[in-house]
Amino acid sequence: KKSFRVVVLPGDGIGPDVVAQAVRVLEVVSATSPDIELKLEEHLFGGCAIDATGVPLPESTLQACKEADAILMGSVGGPKWDVNSKVRPEQGLLGLRKGLGLYANIRPCNFASDSLLSYSPLKASVAQGTDIIIIRELIGGAYFGERKELGQAEQPDVAYDTMIYSIPEVQRITRVAAQIALNADPPLAIHSIDKANVLASSRLWRKVVVETLQNEYPQLKLDHTLVDSASMVMVASPRKLNGVVVTENLFGDILSDEASVIPGSLGLLPSASLAGAPSVADALSPEFKPTHGLYEPIHGSAPDIAGKGIANPIGTILSAALLLRYSLGLDKYAQAIEKAVQKVLDNQDIGGFELRTADLGGSAKTTEIGDKIVEVLKASLA
Ligand code: NAD
Ligand code: IPM
Ligand code: K
Ligand code: MN
């Protein structure tokens, strides 16, 4: 049996609730498969790690993540840990991304099931057929440029962040976008989003995206949209952005939350954050395994519903599917999980009543959704 080590970081708020359901799903895969075994180990991370150890990313957690074959995460943060305090849960997440070199954040945004169309905040005619894969650069830009807090800067009444990109940083994320576009048949269009009419880092971004694609992937279709306009297109006619959207860290953060609600709920969408040498692009071709992969739902710790047992676990369960696909090379099981999720959302094989959490207008508990997905998955693997 091939054995894989998976580090589990439940984190804060609804994190532990939704991660517990994804863990059950991974345990089903491990127990059913004749040839693989998943060894899951939990570690402290985020606000709960601050409470227990004083820091959000304890050295032992970072070390375990470095040694793991993959990482499954919930979410970190919450009102208990003030944004003005020196030590914050979110610093742990940024430290983990940087520490593992997770530069490529993949956030697919499409309808897990057409039965969700009526839950979209957009009119069905507008939302229908939205199928966007957001590729967000994750360890550059304003998140990691030079920063001075109020009181630390040269002038007493100033604070600043620096949005900075290098040519290699943009080249490698462009290649990831290109590889994902090429994995589809026919290849997907690439939409690069920037603010090149104002920002120097965006002018570099656009130039490098153009040159990299021209030199290395001339067959791919590329267009450019300014981020303000793109955020409007996202709700006015999101299908125009169908394909691969590639953008820098902060724009990607904002646009991916905006896009996430189009297919029904923020609670449905997974993400993968990948590192890889020489390039994650290779990781997305069948022969390659990323050096590190962190998988988490795109939502946060949802303090408004934490502790109520009503969070939607599907984004985290689909993140576990991405973990199997990208880091462990187990596409077959990833597909089985995605299929099980779709069946539950489509109300198939589950006894004739609709099972949805509150974000999708229902009254099901987090654990009930987990129960059903586990049941359907077990049946499909038997
Ligand atoms: P959020 O994503 O936590 O919540 C936004 C809204 O979506 C809330 O109304 C919440 O109830 C709802 N929601 C989110 N996930 C849901 C789910 N699975 N099921 C049902 N409803 C869901 O964003 P926020 O409120 O801006 O942030 C709260 C905290 O989470 C902050 O401390 C923030 O820094 C942190 N955060 C962490 C991550 C992460 O760990 N990667 C991501 C985003 C935000
Ligand atoms: C996300 C979150 C994080 C980000 C925060 C919690 C640091 O919003 O994963 O999208 O801004 O990247
Ligand atoms: K998350
Ligand atoms: Mn975000």
Report the chain's terminal Cα–Cα distance, integer Å: 18
254 and 294 together in one domain: no
Q: Tell me, what's the pLDDT at 329? A: 87
| Residue 182 domain boundaries | 121-262
Domain boundary among 262, 297, 328: 262
CB atoms within 10 A of CB 338: 17
**Could you read off the pLDDT of 108-153 as tens digits, one per residue?**
999 888 888 989 999 999 999 999 999 999 999 999 999 999 999 8
93 and 127 together in one domain: no
Tokens linked to 145: 């440029």
Q: How far is the CA of 298 from the centre of ligand 3 (A)?
A: 5
Q: Tell me, what's the pLDDT at 16? A: 98
- CATH number where 21 lies: 3.40.718.10
**Could you read off the pLDDT of 305-314 as tens digits, one per residue?**
999 999 999 9
75 and 136 together in one domain: no
Hey, what amino acid is at 267? G
In a domain, residue 44? The reply is yes
Active site residue 257: yes
In a domain, residue 137? The reply is yes
The CB of 238 under 6 Å from ligand 2? The reply is no
Which of 57, 83, 90, 296 has most ligand 2 atoms within 8 Å of CB, for mutation?
Answer: 90
Domain boundary among 247, 262, 277: 262
Buried b (16+ CB within 10 A) or exposed e, 254-291: ebbeebbbbbbbbbbbbbbbbbbeebbbbbbeeebebb
Structurally, the chain folds into a number of domains equal to 2
Return the residue whose CA atom lies nearest to atom 5 of ligand 2: 90
Domain boundary among 213, 229, 262: 262
In a domain, residue 56? The reply is yes
153 and 72 together in one domain: no
Q: Average pLDDT across each block of 10 residues of the chain; the chain has 382 residues. List them in order.
A: 96 98 98 94 98 98 96 97 92 96 95 87 95 98 97 94 96 92 94 98 98 96 98 98 98 96 94 76 55 94 97 98 92 96 78 80 94 96 92
Q: Tell me, what's the pLDDT at 282? A: 59
The 3-state DSSP class for residue 382 equals: coil
- Which DSSP helix (H) or strand (E) runs through 189? none
61 and 184 together in one domain: no
Ligand at minimal distance from the CA of 107 is: 2
What is the C-alpha to C-alpha distance for residues 225 and 193, in angstroms, rounded to an integer? 5
311 and 200 together in one domain: no
88 and 142 together in one domain: no
Instruction: Write the CB contacts of 352 (distance below 8 Å, at least 6 apart in sequence).
Output: none
45 and 82 together in one domain: yes
In a domain, residue 110? The reply is no
92 and 163 together in one domain: no
**Cβ contact 135:180 at 8 Å:** yes
244 and 340 together in one domain: no
Q: How far is the CA of 50 from the centre of ligand 4 (A)?
A: 21
pTM: 0.95
204 and 175 together in one domain: yes
What is the C-alpha to C-alpha distance for residues 240 and 236, in angstroms, rounded to an integer? 9
Q: Tell me, what's the pLDDT at 278? A: 46
125 and 249 together in one domain: yes
Ligand 2 atom closest to residue 76's alpha carbon, by position in its atom list: 6
